[in-house]
Amino acid sequence: MSESYAGKINRKLMKKRRIIEAAAGREPADLVLKNAVYVNVFANQLCTADIAVAEGLIVGMGDYFGAEEVDCAGKIVLPGFLDAHIHLESSLVSPREFVKAVLPHGTTTVVTDPHEIANVMGTDGIEYMLQATEDLPVDVRFMLPSCVPATPLDESGAILDYRSLDSFYDHPRVQGLAEMMNFVGIIAGDGQPVEKIVAAQAHHKKIDGHAPDLRGNELNAYIAAGVYSDHECHDLQDALAKLERGQFIMIREGTAARNLEALAPLLCGKYSERCMFCTDDKHPSDLLEKGHIDYIVKEAIHLGADPIT
C-alpha cells in the first residue's frame, strides 16, 4: 500500500525537526567534521569551525558534537568538483569504472550528454546510460542529446526528434537538452531543432549550447531561442560576446580541446560566477596521468586565478 499524504507530511515534519534540533546543537548531528578549515563560497574566504551534518545536509558551522566525529585539522573542506559537460563514452570505460577514476580526484558530480551512444543505439543507449549510472558514489546528471544524427550527412543508428526525448524529461536526473549543435537550424527557425527547444522549455528544463564564433544578430537569435550556455569558446572575444548577452560559459579543458589558457582572464570577480569548468571529452590516459576537474583547477591557479574563486 502506498504511503498516505498525511504519512508523507508527518515523515517530512519529523525530518525537518531533526534538522533543526541538530542545527541548534540540542541533539548530536549524524556527522561532525571537527576543526575544519572550509571554503566559504558565499563570503569567498577560508573559515574555521565544526561542520555539522544531519539527514544528509550540512546544517551548521560552529561548535558541534555528533554521533560520528572526524578531526579535519590540517585539511581543507570544500565542495566537490563538478564537470559541467562531458560525454562519458569518451572515457572508453563503463560509467562505474569512470567513477572509480574520478572520485579520488574530488569529482562528485558530472553532467553528461549521451550523444555518442545515442547516435549508435538511439533511445536504448540513453536508457542504458541512465541505468548504468544509478546509485553510483558520483552524482551523474543528464542533458538529453539534441542532435541525433549530428549532421544530415551522418549514417547514425537512430533519428531522435522531440517526441523520442519527451518521456526522459520526467527522470529526476535529467536536467535539460544538451548542446544544440545545430545553431544554423535554430537561427533559420527550422522546425525540428526549434521543436526540441520548445519541448525542453515546456518541461521547465535548460538548454546547453554549441556555437563557436557566432556573433552579432545571429548570436542574438540563438540566445533568444532559449540557449543558456556555450562550451565552444576558444578565444576571449567569443566568450565575452556571449557573457554580455547573458549566457553561461563552460571553460573547457579536456583531451580533444583545451581552452583554459585563452579563457583564464574570465576567472575573476567580474565574470567567474557565470563560468564553470568542463572537459567535454576525457580519455582514460588523461584521467590516470593528469586527473579530472582538479587538474583544471591546478592549471587555472598556475595561470594566476585566485584559489578561492
Query: Which segments in the chain show pLDDT lower than 50?
Result: none
Strands (E), the chain: 29-40, 45-54, 57-62, 66-71, 76-77, 81-86, 107-112, 139-144, 174-180, 206-209, 229-230, 248-252, 275-278
Cell, residue 9: 507530511
Burial of 35 (0-12, 13-18, 19+ CB in 10 A): middle
Residue 137: count of CB within 10 angstroms of its CB:
9
All cell numbers assigned to 23: 542545527
The predicted-structure confidence for 200-223, as pLDDT tens digits, reads as follows 999 999 999 999 999 999 999 999
For 133-181, the pLDDT digits (tens) are 999 999 999 999 999 887 777 677 788 999 999 999 999 999 999 999 9
What pLDDT is recorded for position 156? 75
Distances (CA, A) of 44 to 62, 80, 197, 269, 273: 18, 16, 36, 10, 12
- In CATH, the number for domain 81-302 is 3.20.20.140
Q: Are 137 and 100 contacting, i.e. CB atoms less than 8 angstroms apart? A: no
Cell of residue 173, nine digits: 536526473
Per residue, the 3-state secondary structure of 100-147, as one string, reads HHHHHHCEEEEEECCHHHHHHHCHHHHHHHHHHCCCCCCEEEEEECCC
What lies within 8 Å, CB to CB, of 9 at 6+ separation is none
Give the cell for residue 2: 502506498
Taking each helix axis from N to C end, the angle separating 236-243 and 216-224, rounded to the nearest 10 degrees, works out to 50
Contacts by residues 13-17 (CB-CB < 8 Å, ≥ 24 positions apart):
15/55
Distances (CA, A) of 47 to 51, 76, 85, 93, 183: 11, 10, 30, 39, 45
Q: Are 262 and 236 in contact (CB under 8 A)?
A: yes
Is the CB of residue 180 less than 8 Å from the CB of residue 207? yes
CATH top class, domain 5-77: mainly beta
Listed in sequence order, the residues at least 6 apart from 286 whose beta carbon sits closer than 8 Å to its beta carbon are: 254, 255
Strands (E), 195-304: 206-209, 229-230, 248-252, 275-278
The residue assigned the cell 537561427 is 187
Give the per-residue pLDDT at 149: 83
pLDDT at 224: 97
Distance CA 308, CA 40 (A): 9
Domain borders along the chain are 5-77, 81-302
CA 133 from centroid of its chain's CA atoms? 15
